């Protein structure tokens, strides 16, 4: 299968790339920083020599359609799309800087919306693979409930949830599965130097494993939502 993953240079996106690679699937990856992206591509290619990996840097807050057109120009059939790229800018509605909402919506929602729209015609045309075509949208527990310091990030993730739910309804009859993923805290660069020696928060691989498992069901079954929280609950 051909797997498109955004924000794949590190964190949750990289863990998702690795689990699909280790199961023999081809990867088409994107993030902004070209050096970090190519480093990840090389690392995975060395580990999993038999698969095809292609990567290209785009700022998906502005260039999501360009990334989609690049994928389409490669002539590959997209089996799985993972809309993972995102940015966490903490803040509160009443005092976060001007422009944060716009940036969060562009990065966390428009990236997924425009990329999906660019790839969907091809995905809708081609006959399904054994487990069906599949789109995963990485939302957040911040899509499900408000919390202090959520601000524009949480608003953008609620919007991502709305996008995902609408897409699920629309794609049922086309045999394309849509899964919304709602992780709680996951140890990635987004958490800076957080001390996780006591496993207070989750690993990126936990999210990747759930996504891979959901991609393996029969064509008649769709996991609509994956909610993951740290064992001790939210921070």
Q: 3-state SS of the chain? A: CEEEEECCCCHHHHHHHHHHHHCCCEEEEECCCHHHHHHHHHHHHHHCCCCCEEECCCCHHHHHHHHHHHHHHCCCCCCEEEECCCCCCCCCCCCCCCCHHHHHHHHHHHHHHHHHHHHHHHHHHCCCCCCCEEEEEECCHHHCCCCCCCHHHHHHHHHHHHHHHHHHHHHHHHCEEEEEEEECCEECHHHCCCCCCCCCCEEHHHHHHHHHHHCCCCCCCCCCEEEECCCCCCC
Query: In the bound complex, what is the minimum distance in angstroms from residue 218's beta carbon to ligand NAP?
Result: 27
CB closer to ligand NAP, 40 vs 215:
40
Query: Which residue number, 132 or 183, has a Cβ lying nearer to ligand NAP?
Result: 183
Q: In the complex with ligand NAP, which residue's Cβ is closer, 64 or 132? A: 64
Query: How many Cα atoms sit within 13 Å of 141 on the Cβ side?
Result: 14
Closest approach of ligand NAP to the CB of residue 61, in Å: 4
- The yes-or-no answer on residue 110 being catalytic is no
Kindly state the smallest distance separating residue 64's Cβ from ligand NAP, in Å. Answer: 8
Q: Which is nearer to ligand NAP, 132 or 226 (CB)?
A: 226
12 vs 132 by CB, closer to ligand NAP: 12
Shortest distance (Å) from residue 26 CB to ligand NAP: 19
Q: Report the chain's terminal Cα–Cα distance, integer Å.
A: 37
Active-site entry in 153, 174, 182, 212? 153
Binding site for ligand NAP (CB under 6 A): 6-13, 30-33, 36, 59-61, 84-88, 107, 138, 140, 183, 185-186, 188-190
CA distance 106 to 109: 6
To ligand NAP, the closest distance from the beta carbon of 57 in angstroms equals 7
Give the residue numbers marked as catalytic. Answer: 153
């Amino acid at each position: 299968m051909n797997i498109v993953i955004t924000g794949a240079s590190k964190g949750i996106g990289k863990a998702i790339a690795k689990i699909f690679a280790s199961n023999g699937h081809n990867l088409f990856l994107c993030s902004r920083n070209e050096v970090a992206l190519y480093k990840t591509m090389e690392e995975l290619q060395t580990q999993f020599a038999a698969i095809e990996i292609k990567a290209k840097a785009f700022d998906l807050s502005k260039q999501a359609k360009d990334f989609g057109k690049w994928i389409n120009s490669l002539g590959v059939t997209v089996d799985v799309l993972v809309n993972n790229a995102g940015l966490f800018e903490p803040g509160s509605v009443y005092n976060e800087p001007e422009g944060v909402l716009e940036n969060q919506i562009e990065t966390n929602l428009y990236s997924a919306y425009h990329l999906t729209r660019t790839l969907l015609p091809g995905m809708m045309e081609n006959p399904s693979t054994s487990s069906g075509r599949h789109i995963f949208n990485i939302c957040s527990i911040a899509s499900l409930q408000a919390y202090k310091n959520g601000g524009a990030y949480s608003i953008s993730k609620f919007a991502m949830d709305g996008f995902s739910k609408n897409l699920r309804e629309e794609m049922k009859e086309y045999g394309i599965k849509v899964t919304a993923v709602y992780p709680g805290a996951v140890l990635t660069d987004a958490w800076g130097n957080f001390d996780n020696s006591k496993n207070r928060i989750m690993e990126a691989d936990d999210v990747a494993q759930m996504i891979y498992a959901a991609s393996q069901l029969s064509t008649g079954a769709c996991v609509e939502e994956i909610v993951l929280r740290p064992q001790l609950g939210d921070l």
